[in-house]
Amino acid sequence: MAIYLDTCVIVAALTREPETDAALSFLSRTANEILVLSEWVATEFSCAISMKNRSQQLEKADRQRVLDLFAEIRKSLQFVNITQDHFTATAKFADESANGLRAGDALHLAIVSVLGLTLCTFDRKFIASARALRIETLLP
Q: What is the CATH number of the domain that holds 46?
A: 3.40.50.1010
**Mean pLDDT of all residues belonging to the chain:** 92
Structural domain containing residue 81: 2-138
Question: pLDDT digits over 32-88, tens only?
Answer: 899 999 999 999 999 999 999 999 998 888 999 999 999 998 888 999 999 999 999
Per cent of the chain over pLDDT 70 is: 98
Q: Which residues of 121-140 are buried (b: 16+ CB within 10 A; e: fewer)?
A: bbbeebbebbeebebbbeeb
Count of domains in the chain?
Answer: 1
Q: Which residues of 32-63 are buried (b: 16+ CB within 10 A; e: fewer)?
A: eeebbbbebbbebbeebbeebbeeeebeeeeb
How many CB atoms sit inside 10 A of residue 18's CB? 8
The predicted model scores a pTM of 0.91
Q: What is the mean pLDDT of residues 114-131?
A: 94
Is the predicted pLDDT of residue 96 greater than 90, yes or no? no
Question: Phi-psi category of 76—alpha, beta or left, where left has phi over 0 and alpha has psi -120 to 50?
Answer: alpha
What span, in angstroms and rounded, lies between the C-alpha atoms of 140 and 129? 17
The torsion angle over the Cα atoms of residues 52, 10, 125 and 102, rounded to 10 degrees, is: 70
C-alpha angle 10-15-17 in degrees, rounded to nearest 5: 90
